[in-house]
Amino acid sequence: MLRQLVYRSRATQKMSEPDIDKIVADSEPFNQANDVTGLLLFDGEFFFQVLEGEGDVIHGLFEHIKTDPRHTNIVKVLDSACAKRDFGKWNLRTLILKPESQCYWLPSDLTVRRDSRV
């Protein structure tokens, strides 16, 4: 069954755009081979990632992601069955948020509600 898993975490070290590009490049072969799609946001301190794919693949991938020493304080925000993908054409699209973008992170107690969820 198709699932969408969303998490947030804090970087354990300073990371540059090339560091983030390497994360994406390293993930592409697995994501393409396993039909994983999603989005990775990074603001220089925090990650926010959406993963979409078959449930067993997504849960296994999340367990692997949790062991990565480049981040900590990993909080699952959403883990839900879904009728369709929101990022169907993106194996992993990345957006690095700059301080001047005036984007603000979601509070830790946010409840996500989606009509497209099963």
CATH number at residue 29: 3.30.70.100
Asked if residue 116 belongs to a domain, the reply is no
Give the domain extent around 12. 2-92
pLDDT band at 112 (very low <50, low <70, confident <90, very high): very low
CA distance 36 to 59: 11
Asked if residue 114 belongs to a domain, the reply is no
What tens digit of pLDDT does each residue of 7-49 get? 999 999 999 989 999 998 999 999 999 999 998 988 889 999 9
Pairing of strands 37-42, 93-96: parallel
Asked if residue 113 belongs to a domain, the reply is no
Asked if residue 36 belongs to a domain, the reply is yes
Q: What pLDDT score was predicted for residue 87?
A: 81
Which residue shows structure tokens 């898993």? 5
Helix (H/G/I), strand (E/B), else coil: 60: helix
CA distance 117 to 85: 10
DSSP, residue by residue, 45-58:
SEEEEEEEEEHHHH
How many structural domains compose the chain? 1
The DSSP bridge partners found for residue 53 are 3
